[in-house]
Amino acid sequence: MTAPERDEILPPLAAEGHLALTEVELVDWGRRLGRQVDPPLVVTLDGELGAGKTTLVRAICAGYGVREDVTSPTFAIVHQYDAPKSPVYHIDLFRLESPSALQNIGWDDIVQADALTLIEWPRRAGELLPADHLPIELRHVPGDPTRRVLYAGGHAGGRMKKGEGVGA
């Protein structure tokens, strides 16, 4: 029996930088990402309401070793969790009124910490978003409510240059 071709192993569209995933597949991918990353790392999660950003954050945290329940910090803006490798900061900027309000949450200290920092709604940080972050974008699949399209690294909004990101 011969080994399968690379194209047979890769999920559809993986070579183009995006995957159409069910929630179960998204959670599995997030756990694997969490197991593989090391601090310091800032990961941004962008996408529409209900696209699965918080679900993916929970999965990344589980893979990273967070043992407590991970909840959305929509009203608190920041939640901090303990993990074996480092602290984890989960930031939800959905209700942020302006990037200048980030000073009130200790933004500079958080994004410069030796930690895993996961940021939902990152565009609201404007120019204060670190340039060397790992961008992830989730989108609904038109006509298929059970799947999400995931873009990661340089394919997520073009925020990272070629050669940067996971696996570079």
How much is the CA Rg of the chain, to the nearest whole Å?
16
**pLDDT tens, position by position, 84-142:** 999 999 999 999 989 999 999 999 999 999 999 999 999 999 999 999 999 999 999 88
Query: Across the strands, what pairs with 18?
Result: 151
Omega within 30 of 0 (cis) for the link into 40: yes
Full strand arrangement of the beta sheet holding 88-92: 18-22, 144-152, 134-141, 41-47, 116-120, 88-92, 78-81
Max distance between CA atoms of the chain, in angstroms, equals 61
Determine the pLDDT at residue 86.
98
SS3 assignment, position 142: coil
How many other C-beta atoms can be found within 10 angstroms of the C-beta atom of residue 143?
Answer: 6
- Count H helices, E strands: the chain? 4, 7
**pLDDT tens, position by position, 3-20:** 434 333 334 444 455 578
Determine the pLDDT at residue 127.
93
Binning pLDDT at 50, 70 and 90, where does residue 74 land?
A: confident
Determine the pLDDT at residue 8.
36
**pLDDT tens, position by position, 20-42:** 899 999 999 999 999 999 999 99
Nearest to 82 by CA among 96, 93, 71, 68: 68
The CATH number given to 17-117+124-143 is 3.40.50.300
pTM of the model: 0.81
Determine the pLDDT at residue 154.
63
DSSP H or E stretch at residue 65: none
Of the candidate ranges 17-26, 62-71, 76-85, the one whose mean pLDDT is the lowest:
17-26
